[in-house]
Structure 1
Amino acid sequence: MTAFDIPDMTCGHCKSTVENAIRSVDDQAKVRINLTTKTVDVKTDASTEDIAAAITAAGYTPGLRAPL
């Protein structure tokens, strides 16, 4: 599982945009987004770099964090 902090994800629209960005890389990804903590957990076969690049391209700033 890959885990990101996304501090500039602040609303439901942001959440949807981030999820769509991740799914553009892997439409079968398991995505768990917590808007309160501004974190995203992704279970995917795609590379961390590809997921981070998609989130960045969507206009957000992903920071890699250690998974729980």
Structure 2
Amino acid sequence: MSKFNVPDMSCGHCVAAIEKAVATVDADAVLSFDLEARTVDVSSRLSEPELAELLDKEGYPNTLAG
């Protein structure tokens, strides 16, 4: 499981956009969002750098959390 800080993630639309982007490349990925903390946990076959790049391309700059 990888955890990302996503400071620009603030609403349900953001969540849906991120879910859709990840699902297009890994339909089996499991995502868990914390809008208040602006973090997303991702369990995926994709590597952390691949996930980070995917979030960036979707318009959500991010950093790896802890």
Report the TM-score when normalising by structure 2: 0.90
Structure 2 residue identity aligned to 1:26: D
> How much has 1:15 moved relative to structure 2?
1.0
Percent identity of paired positions between Structure 1 and Structure 2 = 36
SS in structure 2 at match of 1:41: strand
Please name the residue that 1:14 is paired with: 14
What's the C-alpha RMSD, in Å, of the aligned pairs? 1.0
Distance in 2, matches of 1:23 and 1:63, equals 20
Distance in 2, matches of 1:53 and 1:24, equals 14
Report the TM-score when normalising by structure 1: 0.88
Structure 1 residue identity aligned to 2:17: T
Size of the alignment, in residue pairs?
66
SS in structure 2 at match of 1:7: coil
> How much has 1:25 moved relative to structure 2?
2.3
Distance in 2, matches of 1:43 and 1:54, equals 14
Unmatched segments (≥5 aa) in structure 2: none
Unmatched segments (≥5 aa) in structure 1: none
